[in-house]
Amino acid sequence: MFDSYSDRARQVILIALWSARTRGGSYIEPEDLLHAIIREDRGEFAAVTSKIFPGDAPHQDPPASFFSASASENLLRELQQDPGLLHAGSDTGQPAPHFDMPISDSLKHILKSAARVDHENTKAIEPLDLLAGIVEDRDSTLAHLLRRRGITRQRVAKALSRS
């Protein structure tokens, strides 16, 4: 299913899975995806993977950020997540158990929207394509949340056209 995803987008999916596991969810939800997009945008993939796979955190250069620091912190708070930066090895708790988790119907809809955007451009699906899938549903709670922070369909589309 994720063959057409870039490495960064696959990392976002892994972080979303971690987010869902951490909150004790039965499904990976759109909120987990947004949480993951923000964490990946802040360059926290290595920190998350160190929590999932202790001692095996990959090094990578941080991506060019889409979210401002204040927007990402405020969004994380509204998603009821700790807005602090994650650091590799900063958590002494047990790693999340390793198992697959189903994707909610609402998240399937978002992933299909991202795939449609990608299909038109014939490039790999990137994290911004996933964000575009979230803002596409104008009536969703997450789209409203993003709009309050100045993240609109037009802004995401403009960023996608530059990449």
Instruction: Report pTM.
Output: 0.85
Read off the pLDDT of residues 112-148 as tens digits, 9 standing for 90 and up: 988 886 555 567 899 999 999 999 988 899 999 999 9
Query: Does residue 129 fall inside a structural domain?
Result: yes
Query: Does residue 95 fall inside a structural domain?
Result: no
Inter-CA distances, 127 with 19, 93, 135, 159, Å: 16, 28, 13, 11
Query: Does residue 142 fall inside a structural domain?
Result: yes
Read off the pLDDT of residues 71-120 as tens digits, 9 standing for 90 and up: 999 999 999 998 888 776 555 454 455 567 899 999 999 999 888 865 55
Q: Which residue has the higher pLDDT, 7 or 50?
A: 7
CATH number for 149: 1.10.1780.10
Task: Quote the domain boundaries for residue 48.
Answer: 7-84+101-162
Which DSSP category does 6 fall into? -
Query: Does residue 128 fall inside a structural domain?
Result: yes
Query: Does residue 96 fall inside a structural domain?
Result: no
> On the CB side of 92, how many CA atoms lie within 13 Å of its CA?
0
Q: What is the pLDDT of residue 95?
A: 47
Query: Does residue 92 fall inside a structural domain?
Result: no
**Structural domain count, the chain:** 1
Number of Cβ atoms within 10 Å of the Cβ of 126: 23
